[in-house]
Amino acid sequence: MELEHECRVLSIQSHVVRGYVGNKAATFPLQVLGFEVDTVNSVQFSNHTGYAHWKGQVLNSDELHELYEGLKLNKVNQYDYVLTVCDPVMGDKWNGEGSMYVPKDLLPVYRDKVVPVADIITPNQFEAELLTGRKIHTEKEALEVMDMLHAMGPETVVITSSDLQAPLGNDYLIALGSHRKTKADGTKMTQRIRVESPKVDAVFVGTGDLFAAMLLAWTHKHPNNLKVACEKTVSAMQHVLQRTIKSAKAQAGEGNKPNSAQLELRMVQSKKDIENPEIIVKATVL
């Protein structure tokens, strides 16, 4: 009997005891989709920082290095993919104004060290602008920015959310994807897609981590079809978010705004949707 190649991912992200962000948001979907996942927890917090209180520890670079050293000594450090801050989580736009989540001096580290070794990056529009130093006002400019990001290293770039006007109207959010492969003869082939998904009226945490993990899985399963990979990822995402908002509203009670604990992603309850998502969001090939 021929052994099937197991696909192994090293995921270096944050960890929370309660809820779903970082490795907690990435591990379950990857395992459900058949991947072996080794996790390095860069921080360990009681819960995500959107709550009123949180406690925990942050791993420094020596401690991180020490963990990897242990894997190396046992010769178990061979990975098909490394999922690390593939979603740059550097900042976002609130009311049209960009603001950074992390100190400004980390920007060169992301740009010069993290992005070049990433297989897939999933920045939002603000992060894509920060990484390239270019502003995005049109779809054409967004595609040029994605070309610049490809030039830094990653084969797959998805701008997960943008301010661009969606053809379907204001109730939709635009994501843009680009996949660049170098063919055997050295020529480059680029696939580009646009995805419009319904806006959900709530602030969720961990969605970027979940998105990056599922996109990694589906691009692995559909290496030459970014359209299908993105449709499956975004559709699964919509299923998880709709289930989460429905559950959060029910817990909060009519007329009350759901709190952070109630808005934790309904991950386990969405196992079937993650594994085999019904396609409810279509991508357009550009």
- Catalytic positions: 209
CA atoms within 13 A on the CB side of 41: 15
**Beta strands 56-58; 81-84: pairing state:** unpaired
**What is the SS3 string spanning the chain?**
CCCCCCCEEEEEEEEECCCCCHHHHHHHHHHHCCCEEEEEEEEEECCCCCCCCCCEEECCHHHHHHHHHHHHHCCCCCCCEEEECCCCCCEEEECCEEEECCCHHHHHHHHHHHHHHCCEECCCHHHHHHHHCCCCCCHHHHHHHHHHHHHHCCCEEEECCCCCCCCCCCCEEEEEEEEEEECCCCCEEEEEEEEEEECCCCCCCCHHHHHHHHHHHHHHHCCCCHHHHHHHHHHHHHHHHHHHHHHHHHHHCCCCCCCCCCCCCCCHHHHHHHHCCCCCCCEEEC
Q: 221 and 32 in contact (C-beta within 8 Å)? A: no
Q: 55 and 43 in contact (C-beta within 8 Å)? A: no
Triad 209, 44, 126: Cα angle to 5°: 35
**Beta strands 120-121; 188-198: pairing state:** unpaired
